[in-house]
Amino acid sequence: MRTLKFFGFFIVLIALSSCSKTDDVTQYQEAQDLDELLTEIKELASSVNCEDDEVWKFVDYGSLACGGPVDYIAYSEKIDVERFLEKIAEHKRLQKEYNENWKIASICTVPIKPADVQCDGGKPVFGY
């Protein structure tokens, strides 16, 4: 009977430790997925050279654990804006869920909202 209790305890211990590893892998994979989506967003935003300030806008992206955006990103009206903004919304939603699911904490610094976007050497630069 003692051996059976020990064996049962051992099985529970293995099950608990494997759940922890699964959670870590899941959290890691979710973080990787968020990074990949952000990379797609940045690639889309930078797919056009900044030559005319008038066709450049900006939008906030991401979701801090304590609320508010992670930062701002500039984009040209010459890209597929609808697709771009859908990716921004998806990233914001997924990052908010990630923060809530994994109980992520962050410092509560809010990025300064730019006033406009200016072109400098083919790259968008925020004006404040």
- Along the chain (128 residues), what's the average pLDDT of each consecutive run of 10 residues? 39 36 79 98 98 98 96 98 98 97 91 98 98
Helix axes of 2-45 and 81-101: crossing angle, nearest 10 degrees: 150
Task: With residue 30 as reference, give the H or E element that holds it.
Answer: helix 2-45
Task: Provide the pLDDT for residue 1.
Answer: 45
Domain ranges of the chain: 49-128
Task: Provide the pLDDT for residue 43.
Answer: 98
